[in-house]
Amino acid sequence: MRRIANTQQAEAWNGPEGVHWADNADSFDMLNSGFNDALFEAAAIGAHDRVLDVGCGTGQTTRLAARRAASGQAVGLDISAPMVERARAVTAAEGIANAVFEQGDAQVHPFPSGHYDVAVSRGGVMFFTDHTVAFTNIGRALRPGGRLAFICPQMPSPDGDSARVFAPVNALLAQPSPAQRGMMSLSDPARVREVLTAAGFAGVTVTSVEGPVNWGRNADEAVDFYFTMGPVRHNLEKKPEETVREARDRVRAALRPYETPDGVRLRGAVWLAAATRP
């Protein structure tokens, strides 16, 4: 039987927000892929490595890891059935044979002990009721000398691009949506160091990485995507139509100056954490 400690997260990511993410995987990948290079540089995956991707979602980073570990294997673990289903379908369509996916809760998943050379995560390690227990479990899955590299969100800077562009909506986002709870749990680098050290990792570093956050091909597409996202929908569904329409118009106008031939690109920043298992 599958072990689950994070029952609220399991419910949330197997509910409408997980389904929405899985159905819009390309948009979410476009949004988050500006930090892939930094993540993979820190992970330093070798051709023969066994890689674990924690909270792999629809598996873009698992597939990228599998390509780097051409003679090894990448395993993506995620608590969400719709995300794992989508990850498997895309991976099969792309003909990547050395990437596999499992559904499970990383906090308590019975990973094979000392099996992996490296564990990575693009924003999939914030959603734990007990971070120390979860990272201890992930650490146990790594061989001695194995590496951990992940990225997680920073608190948005009040004068950053996102704060400016989404200001008309930010004022209305009072409640975190179910899947969003925990999202900012590692936004303090001191907390990341504390948790990883308590979980037995050594050589912990946490660095700020800036990159483009791509919201879509143009401002119209970007505003459509933004207003269907779980946290926004969750807060706006009971607001008067006129309020929502006005907020949409203001966000669309604020996004226009960021349109480029490569999409609507805002500057963003994440924390990149790296550590090793002694």
Ligand X SMILES: C[S@@+](CC[C@H](N)C(=O)[O-])C[C@H]1O[C@@H](n2cnc3c(N)ncnc32)[C@H](O)[C@@H]1O
- Site residues for ligand X per CB under 6 A: 6, 9, 13, 18, 28, 32, 55-57, 61, 77-80, 83, 105-107, 122-124, 127-128
CA count, 13 A, side-chain hemisphere, 177: 20
Residue closest to ligand X when measured from CB atoms: 57
The nearest distance, CB 32 to ligand X, in angstroms, is: 5
CB-nearer residue toward ligand X: 76 or 252: 76
- Of 123, 141, 136, 134, nearest to 179 by C-alpha is 123
CB-nearer residue toward ligand X: 219 or 232: 232
The nearest distance, CB 36 to ligand X, in angstroms, is: 9
The nearest distance, CB 13 to ligand X, in angstroms, is: 3
CB-nearer residue toward ligand X: 67 or 256: 67
CB-nearer residue toward ligand X: 35 or 219: 35
CB atoms within 10 A of CB 104: 17
The nearest distance, CB 117 to ligand X, in angstroms, is: 19
Q: What is the DSSP string of the chain?
A: ----S-HHHHHHHTSHHHHHHHHTHHHHHHHHGGGHHHHHHHHT--TT-EEEEET-TTSHHHHHHHHHTTTSEEEEEES-HHHHHHHHHHHHHTT-TTEEEEE--TTT--PPTT-EEEEEEES-SS--S-HHHHHHHHHHHEEEEEEEEEEEEPPPPTTSHHHHHTHHHHTT--S--GGGTTTTTT-SHHHHHHHHHHTT-EEEEEEEEEEEEE--SSHHHHHHHHHHSHHHHHHHTTS-HHHHHHHHHHHHHHHGGGEETTEEEEEEEEEEEEEE--
Give how far the C-alpha of residue 274 lies from the chain's centroid of Cα atoms, to the nearest Å. 16
The nearest distance, CB 203 to ligand X, in angstroms, is: 23
CB-nearer residue toward ligand X: 138 or 247: 138
CB-nearer residue toward ligand X: 14 or 259: 14
The nearest distance, CB 157 to ligand X, in angstroms, is: 20
The nearest distance, CB 246 to ligand X, in angstroms, is: 29
CB-nearer residue toward ligand X: 106 or 199: 106
